[in-house]
A = this chain, B = another copy of it.
């Protein structure tokens, strides 16, 4: 593995973990009204397209980062639905 791929992985960890605080807050407060459903769908689409881009370019850092973000965003979407009555 080249240095630049390690750079890509670290970048991915930084940007993907930025979703965690919001996920944790949502779990604690059992509320998810700050973020709009539309924004989540846009984010999910972006993650999916980045995965397509990463696969086409064989760039593992992009694939793994966006797969992890996609997973976190799907969990947020489920929580947003689960807690919709608490909003």
Interface residues of A (CB under 8 A from B): 4, 7-8, 10-15, 17-18, 21, 25, 34-36, 39, 42-43, 45-50, 52-53, 56-57, 59, 61-62
Contact = CB atoms under 8 A, between A and B. Distances in A.
Contact of A21 (B36, B45, B46): B36
A15 B56 contact: no
25 contacts: A4-B56, A4-B57, A7-B52, A8-B49, A8-B53, A10-B46, A11-B45, A11-B47, A11-B48, A11-B49, A11-B50, A11-B52, A11-B53, A13-B46, A14-B43, A14-B46, A14-B49, A15-B46, A15-B50, A18-B39, A18-B43, A18-B46, A21-B39, A53-B61, A57-B59
